[in-house]
Amino acid sequence: MPYDHANAFAKILRGELPSIKLAEDDHALAIMDIMPQADGHALVIPKAPSELIFDLPDEALVGAMRMTQRIAVAVRAALQPDGVFIGQFNGAAAGQTVPHVHFHVIPRWSGSELRMHARERADTQKLEALAQRIQAQLR
């Protein structure tokens, strides 16, 4: 199946949809998840047009993983969670809701349940405040 250039992440990468940006380099864009499973949930989106990790070129994969680690370190420093979950879904049966490969960075606190994936949009001001805390750790 050919890559769908009309997916939400492709539009975000082209600047056609808004996002709350955390960081960007030649290979990936990191943004706040607008439907977070936990406060501070971030997404890392490779710039290469690939639906699944199996199709992601090596250079794009390495760049995305570097960005994922960078964001995870910043999330941990900014929010002081008990742990950080890093996940990636391939295909609808695995839970992928946007057909563009991406990585989830989700802070976890003991005794706190995750919200449902891709269900409820968060308050924009709250997301922006969390983003500022994470961005401060990236400097």
Please list, residue by residue across 104-125, b when 16 or more beta carbons sit within 10 angstroms of its beta carbon and e when fewer do. bbbbbeeeeeeeebeeeebeee
Asked if 31 and 43 touch (Cβ cutoff 8 Å), the reply is yes
Choosing from 27, 41, 100, 102, the catalytic residue is 102
Name the 3-class secondary structure at 44: strand
* 102 noted as active-site residue: yes
Burial of 24 (0-12, 13-18, 19+ CB in 10 A): middle
Starting at the earlier edge strand, list the strands of the sheet with 103-108.
21-24, 28-32, 42-46, 103-108, 83-87
> Which amino acids are annotated catalytic?
102
